[in-house]
């Protein structure tokens, strides 16, 4: 049953063989999280996901959320698992137990998150956003704000959101029109409208805490004048009890392609001029504060996309083993030859191999990104800490943008394996594909992720982030080249990495010249090739571990380890040649897309 969500054997491989998360238990901060404890955590997460959350996926999608006169009702089937999620202290797994978390390494929490989101990520959004909003309070809030809000949020008693987007200010946040007027007592009256607010209104918690971006009267235009405010749905008294309704009004929810179980709300603040907020952090520093939550939110979105992809892959593999259709290709001319499971057909195996390679690479990338934060928490070397945070900054656009693009491709293959049945709601593939699609759009479209990678991250600290990443990849290549089976794939990776470095320098120079527009026309292809190289790195890393493990592997583990080497072989010999072609196109930097006259487009 658990296999309908994810692959426990591969999760264990990443946690214990690739990242060796049990080593964190040598540090006082994570002393209790040895391998046995980690495995117990993953077991409990899997049980909760399979037994309680997975049954909500289809019914939650069918029933959806209901809006009536400002009130939003979530699917009834959500109520019990949300209660269990709170009771198990799963809302803020890596956070301080004093505030309601479990204090576990973030890399371990990723394993639990994979199961939960693979079961039904529309449901998990209610708690996922709460954790992110709580981190804003923990990082920027006053002691009073922490005492009033934080534990209630980290325990799921109250939920949280993120109020950025407005009708005139989507990705261009600096245009926002929401206003904050000082009241002379440290509070502000907030007026404005926010749209596309995930979990913005619902019936799962008694209060919803909204971090809101707004501009204080007289503040500078653009992002420099944006502040962050804490605006609860119900005001909170000084003794922690709930006060009056805070004039935060839900005026509608969106009808969407997917994630029907999550309420995507339009919120109107201050319709009766009675919405009160308090500053969270410093005046005019709201965007800086919000970027903290953005990094976490973007990693979460990568996990959402990946979790649907791995669920789709598991479904496709199981179906392909059971679906009997057509003779074996080598016996096509034998009239009496029996029909075989479709997993024996080369084209189906090609699709499954593609899915397998991406799912494994994406899992390693997401867990590794969280592992970097754990490492930064457990070392004293400030230079090494800075390196870890720099690698996180560089990898986030790939972990969000590239991962969700490839996750959607995996879901597309998953539907294709099922054939016509995949297009019906009899099987989960069509819902997984629908739910996955939004991950390429929200928390910054993938085009914006590409611009962030090329426009900001490449040049940060004079290119140190890129050099650090290349150093990590080269270390893997050096190790893998010493191994007979993996050496050819390490050499392919090395060729691609060197070409990527050349392309990065080329785009950097072009962006600083009169070729700015042409350079940014290739920002998205550049993110794709960066992602391909990072995927190949993860797969070669995994394969080199597997080759060493095969020497002493038990019989039952041999197919798994051999499968790791095959994933690296497939990706490096099938995908990387295309990557090299894309890199050649980037180096050529053809300007047709930015040179064409607008009138030349049909419209």
Helices H, strands E: what count in the chain? 20, 14
Active site annotation includes 443:
yes
Element (H, E) at 568: helix 558-570
Cα–Cα dist 456/268, whole Å: 33
Residue 37 burial by Cβ neighbours in a 10 Å radius (0-12, 13-18, 19+) = middle
Answer for the pair 437, 408: CB distance below 8 angstroms, yes or no: yes
Q: How far is CA 385 from CA 312, 342, 375, 392, 461, in A?
A: 36, 49, 8, 11, 15
Q: How far is CA 473 from CA 129, 132, 468, 497, in A?
A: 32, 30, 9, 8
Q: Which is catalytic among the residues 443, 494, 518, 547?
A: 443
Answer for the pair 54, 60: CB distance below 8 angstroms, yes or no: no
Cα–Cα dist 565/572, whole Å: 11
Among residues 268, 272, 233, which one has the least CA distance to residue 249?
268
Query: If DSSP states are collapsed to H, E and C, what string results for 455-511?
Result: HHHCCHHHHHHHHHHHHHHHHHHHHHCCCCCCHHHHHHHHHHHHHHHHHHHHHHHHH
Q: How far is CA 451 from CA 174, 388, 504, in A?
A: 17, 22, 13
Q: Which two tokens mark 106?
A: 């973030």
Q: So which residues are the catalytic ones?
A: 443
């Amino acid at each position: 049953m658990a296999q309908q969500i994810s692959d426990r054997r591969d999760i264990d491989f990443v946690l214990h063989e690739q990242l060796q998360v049990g080593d964190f238990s040598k540090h006082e901060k994570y002393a209790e999280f040895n391998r046995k404890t980690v495995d117990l955590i993953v077991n409990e997460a899997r049980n909760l996901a399979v037994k309680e959350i997975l049954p909500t996926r289809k019914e939650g999608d069918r029933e959806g959320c209901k809006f009536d006169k400002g009130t939003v009702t979530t699917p009834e089937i959500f109520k019990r698992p949300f209660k269990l999620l709170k009771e198990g202290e799963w809302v803020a797994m890596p956070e301080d137990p004093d505030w309601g978390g479990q204090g576990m390494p973030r890399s371990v929490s990723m394993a639990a998150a994979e199961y939960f989101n693979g079961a039904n990520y529309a449901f998990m959004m209610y708690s996922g956003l709460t954790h992110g909003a709580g981190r804003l309070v923990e990082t920027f809030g006053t002691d009073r704000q922490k005492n009033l809000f934080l534990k209630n949020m980290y325990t799921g008693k109250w939920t949280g959101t993120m109020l950025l987007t407005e009708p005139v200010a989507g990705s261009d946040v600096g245009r926002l029109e929401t206003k904050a007027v000082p009241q002379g007592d440290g509070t502000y009256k907030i007026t404005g409208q926010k749209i596309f607010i995930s979990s913005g209104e619902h019936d799962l918690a008694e209060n919803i805490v909204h971090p809101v971006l707004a501009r204080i009267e007289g503040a500078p235009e653009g992002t420099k004048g944006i502040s962050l405010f804490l605006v609860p749905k119900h005001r909170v008294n000084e003794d922690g009890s709930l006060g009056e309704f805070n004039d935060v009004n839900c005026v509608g929810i969106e009808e969407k392609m997917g994630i029907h179980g999550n309420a995507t709300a339009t919120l109107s603040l201050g319709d009766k001029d009675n919405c009160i907020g308090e500053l969270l952090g410093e005046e005019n520093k709201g965007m800086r504060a919000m970027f903290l939550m953005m990094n976490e939110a973007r990693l979460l979105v990568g996990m959402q996309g990946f979790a649907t992809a791995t669920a789709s892959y598991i479904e496709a593999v199981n179906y392909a083993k059971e679906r009997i259709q057509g003779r074996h290709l080598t016996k096509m001319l034998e009239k009496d030859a029996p029909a075989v499971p479709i997993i024996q057909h080369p084209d189906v195996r090609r699709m499954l191999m593609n899915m397998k390679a991406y799912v494994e690479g994406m899992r390693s990338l997401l867990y590794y990104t969280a592992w970097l934060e754990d490492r930064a928490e457990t070392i004293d070397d400030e230079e090494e800490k800075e390196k870890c945070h720099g690698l996180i900054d560089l990898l986030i656009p790939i972990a969000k943008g590239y991962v969700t693009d490839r996750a959607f491709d995996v879901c597309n293959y998953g539907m294709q394996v099922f054939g016509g049945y995949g297009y019906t709601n009899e099987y989960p593939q069509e819902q997984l594909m629908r739910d996955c699609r939004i991950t390429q759009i929200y928390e910054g479209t993938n085009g914006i992720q590409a611009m962030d990678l090329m426009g900001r991250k490449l040049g940060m600290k004079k290119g140190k982030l890129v050099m650090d990443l290349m150093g990590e990849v080269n270390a893997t290549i050096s190790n893998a080249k010493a191994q007979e089976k993996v050496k050819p794939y390490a050499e392919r990776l090395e060729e691609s990495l060197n070409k990527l470095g050349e392309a990065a320098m080329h785009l950097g120079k072009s962006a600083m010249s009169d070729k700015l527009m042409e350079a940014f026309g290739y920002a998205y292809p550049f993110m794709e090739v960066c992602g391909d190289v990072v995927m190949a790195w993860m797969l070669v890393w995994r394969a080199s571990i597997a080759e060493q493990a095969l020497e002493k592997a038990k019989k039952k583990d041999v197919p798994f380890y051999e499968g790791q080497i095959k994933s690296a072989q497939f990706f490096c010999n099938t995908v990387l040649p295309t990557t090299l072609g894309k890199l050649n196109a980037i180096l050529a930097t053809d300007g047709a897309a930015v040179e064409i006259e607008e009138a030349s487009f049909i419209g």
